[in-house]
Amino acid sequence: MFRSTNVAARVFERQILTPRPGATINLVRHFYENLVPSCTICDIDCPDHSFRKITDDGRYLVSFSRNLQDIIVYRPTWLSFSFKGGNFDYQSLTQKAKKFDSFFTQLYSVSLGSSSEFICKDFFLYLEDHQFGLFATSTAQSHEVPAIEGAIHGVPSIEKITFHLVRLKDGVVMDEKSFCNDFVNLAHSMGVFLYEDLLCIMSLRYQTIHILQVRDSGNLVDVRNIGSFCLEDDELFLNSHAQCMTVLNKSKPVGNVHESANGIHHQQVAQASAFLTGIKQRLLSFIFRKAWSEEADPILRVQHLKKKFYFHFQDYVDLIMWKAQFLDRHHLLIKFGSVDGGVSRSTDQHPAFFAVYNMETTEIIAFYQNSSEELYSLFEQFYDHFHANSRESVHANFISSHSNNIHALEQLWSMKNKQSSFSQFVKKMMTSVPYTCQSQSPSPYFDVSLFRYDEKLISSTDRHRHSTDHPIKFISRRQPNVLKFKIKPGLETSGAEARTKKICSFLFHPHLPMALSIQQTYMQPTVVNLHLRIWMELEVVVIPVRMFWIEGLALRG
Amino acid sequence: MGSLLDDWPSYDPHNFSQLRPADSSAQSSKLTPVTYRPTHNKTLPPPDQVISTEARNILLRHFYQKSEEKFRPKRAASDHLTPEHSCKQPRYAYADEADVF
C-alpha cells in the first residue's frame, strides 16, 4: 500500500517497499490510479471493421470486415514522436495523435469466409502460449430441421460450422475443424471452452462434448467425445452387441451409414437407441446411488427411491446438456436442462442441473440442482476456480471477482440481502456457471479495489450495453469522492438523436491506458472513440525527460 | 551492537557515533546469541517425506469430499446421533489420490 497518491512519490516508495508475497501485481497496479485514459478522441477516423477484441497479452487487435469474410489483425502500439531543433510543431503532433494508424498498425488481412460461410463475429478465443487465435465460420442457421436419429428435436441446425486455428503472428491458418448439420452455440464463445491447450466444444444437436487438443504444431487433434459413449471402447462393445442383435432381429430396418466430422455413425446410433447415451447412464446411476445411500433402513429406502428417483425418472432422461467447461484437465462441469431452455439464457422457468464429470474415470462426482445452497456456498467461496485459469495465465488470475476481492464480495452480499427469496437469488447467480472463458477483460481499470464504476454501464465482461449520454465515471475506491476519469462513449447528441437506442461495447487494452468504445446506432454509421492517456500540451516535451530522470534515480536507489 | 553499525555507510559520518560503547569486544561477545541445539528428535520429518502441491484444486476437493460424505453408508434412523451437515468432518487422506494425477 503506497502512502502517497502522487506518482513521483510512489515511484520513490516502490524502491524500498516489499509487497506482500504473491501480491506484487496488486501493488504495482496502484500506478493505474495515476495513469488513466482521461483523454477521448471522438469518432476517430478508422476503417469500417467490426472490432472484436484486444488479446489478453495486448499484442493484437482482432477485427472482422463488415461483410464477415476477412479477419484483419492490428498491432496496438503507442504514439511516439521526436523532433530535432528548436521549433516544436505541436500542430502536427495533435494531427498525428488523432489518427487510428498512430495507435494501431495493420499486420495483415486473411480471408476465412466463403460465399456461403460467414465469420461469426462474436466468436474468438486466444491461446496465449503459441499466439494462436480460434475463429469460427458458419452457414446460415435453419430452424426447420428434419428429425434425425441421434439429434435432439427443438435445437436448430447449421449446415456447416468450421473452426479455424490461425497463427496471429503472420495470419497463417494452421488447422480447421468442421461440424456438419450440427449446432454449437457460437454467440460470445459460449459453446466452446478453452483451458490451456484443451478445447471443449459442446455440440447441442447431437448432445456430444468434443474434446480437442491444440498441439504445438498448430494441429487440432481429437482427444475424446463424450455423449453417446464415455470410454473409448464403449462403441466397440456396443458394435459387437449390435451385430449379435441384427442376427437375431433381421426384420429391424437398418438406417444409412453417414459419417461426418461429428464422428457419429447414424447406423450405430439407430441400433444403440435401445440404450440411453453413456453420459445419461452415468448420470442416472449417480442419482440412483445417491438416493440409495441417503436412507439406511431397507423399507424406507424403497420409498425414498420412489420419491427421489423413479418419480422423476423421465424428467432426468429428458435432460439435455447445455453447456460445459473444464474445471481442470480431467474434470468437466456440465449444465443440464430441459430442451425448451436449450438455446436461451433465461432459466427462471426451467430447472437446470450441474454435474461434475471426471473424464478419466468417466464418473459423475457431483450433481446439484441450480437452486442448491451447497453449490452456492462453493460458488461464493471458490468462484475463481470456476474460471479455470491455468497457472501460466498471469492476466486472467487478477480479474476481480467476489472470491478474490472484498469490495466485490460486499456487493454480492448486498445483492443477496436485497433479494426476498434466497433460492431465486441462487438461481440467478448460477446462470453465470458454467463460466464462458475469456469473456472478461483483464484490464486494471476494472479492478474493483482501485475504481468504483457502474456495472450496468460498463464492466469487464464484453457484452453490448445500452449507451447513455452521460459519461461513465470511474471513481477512486480509496479516496471515495475523487473522480479519476470518465469515459464518454459517444458523440454529443441532441433531440431526436438522443431518443434512438444506442448500444455500446468497450475494448480495453490489458495493460496500456487505452480503450476503444464502439457505439452502434440503428441505421447510422458506427462511431468509434479512442480513450487514452495523453500528456498535457506543455508537458509533451518536458515530461518524457523528467520521467527518465525519475527512473534514473530509481535505479541508483 | 554499536560496533556493528560503525562501519556501515551513511550520509552523515556523525550518525551512530554516539552509540560506540567503551569496551566494544566485551559487549559483542555478551550479545552473541547461543545456538539452539534440540534435545530430542520428535519433531523431525519422516525421512521419505516429500512436500508438494496438491494436484487437485480446492473446488474439486470439496466436490469429492461432499460426494464421499453422501455415499458413506448411513446409520439407521434410530441411532442418528450427529446431524447431517456437521461442521467437523474427519479429514480424508488426499495424498494417495494426488498420486494418481
**How close does chain B come to A385, measured CA to CA in Å?**
6
Cα–Cα distance measured from residue A116 to residue A23, given in angstroms and rounded to the nearest whole number: 50
Query: Residue written as cell 465460420?
Result: A137
Question: CA of A289: which chain B residue's CA is closest?
Answer: B71
Site from B62, B63, B78 to mutate, A interface, most A CB atoms within 10 angstroms: B63
With CB atoms and an 8 Å threshold, state whether B101 touches A356. no
| 3-state SS track over A54-104 | ECCCCCCEEEEECCCCEEEEEEECCCCCCCCCCCCCHHHHHHHHCEHHHCE
Start-to-end Cα distance in chain B? 53
Percentage of chain A lying above the pLDDT 90 cut? 48
Percentage of chain B lying above the pLDDT 70 cut? 50
Least confident of A453-457, A503-507, B60-64, B76-80: B76-80
Give DSSP secondary structure letters for B23-89.
-HHHHHHHTSPPPP--S--TTPPPTT------SS-HHHHHHHHHHHHHHSPPPPGGG--S-TT-S--
Task: Determine the pLDDT at residue A497.
Answer: 57
Cα–Cα distance measured from residue A151 to residue A260, given in angstroms and rounded to the nearest whole number: 14
What residues of A are in contact with residue B64 (Cβ under 8 Å)? 365
Residue A556 burial (10 A CB sphere; 0-12, 13-18, 19+): exposed
What residues of A are in contact with residue B60 (Cβ under 8 Å)? 327-328, 331, 356, 365, 385
B99: amino acid identity, one letter? D
With CB atoms and an 8 Å threshold, state whether B76 touches A289. no
Per DSSP, what are the bridge partners of residue A531? A40, A515
Weakly modelled stretches of chain A, pLDDT under 70: 83, 86-90, 93, 147, 245-273, 341-349, 391-392, 490-499, 535-557
Interface A:B, Cβ pairs < 8 A: 48
A461's CB contacts (< 8 A; 6+ apart) are A439, A440, A441
Q: Say whether pLDDT at B83 is over 70.
A: no
What tens digit of pLDDT does each residue of B6-25 get?
A: 667 778 777 766 765 555 55
Task: Determine the pLDDT at residue A368.
Answer: 94
Rg of chain B, C-alpha, whole Å: 29
Q: Are A280 and A317 within 8 A, CB to CB? A: yes
Start-to-end Cα distance in chain A? 19
**How close does chain A come to B8, measured CA to CA in Å?**
16
With CB atoms and an 8 Å threshold, state whether A327 touches B75. no
Q: What is the ipTM of this complex?
A: 0.83
Average pLDDT over residues B30-51: 83
Task: Determine the pLDDT at residue B89.
Answer: 55
Cα–Cα distance measured from residue A370 to residue A367, given in angstroms and rounded to the nearest whole number: 10
With CB atoms and an 8 Å threshold, state whether B63 touches A293. no
Site from B54, B66, B67, B84 to mutate, A interface, most A CB atoms within 10 angstroms: B67
Cα dihedral across residues A309, A314, A315, A319: positive or negative: positive
Task: Determine the pLDDT at residue B100.
Answer: 40
Task: Determine the pLDDT at residue B30.
Answer: 62
**Where would I find the H helices in A336-445?**
373-381, 383-387, 406-418, 422-430
A399: amino acid identity, one letter? I
A325-342: burial string, b at 16+ Cβ within 10 Å, e else = bbbbebbbbbbbbbbebb
pTM: 0.81
Task: Determine the pLDDT at residue B20.
Answer: 57
Task: Determine the pLDDT at residue A173.
Answer: 95
A546 membership: H or E segment, kind and range: helix A539-556
Task: Determine the pLDDT at residue A256.
Answer: 39
Rg of chain A, C-alpha, whole Å: 27
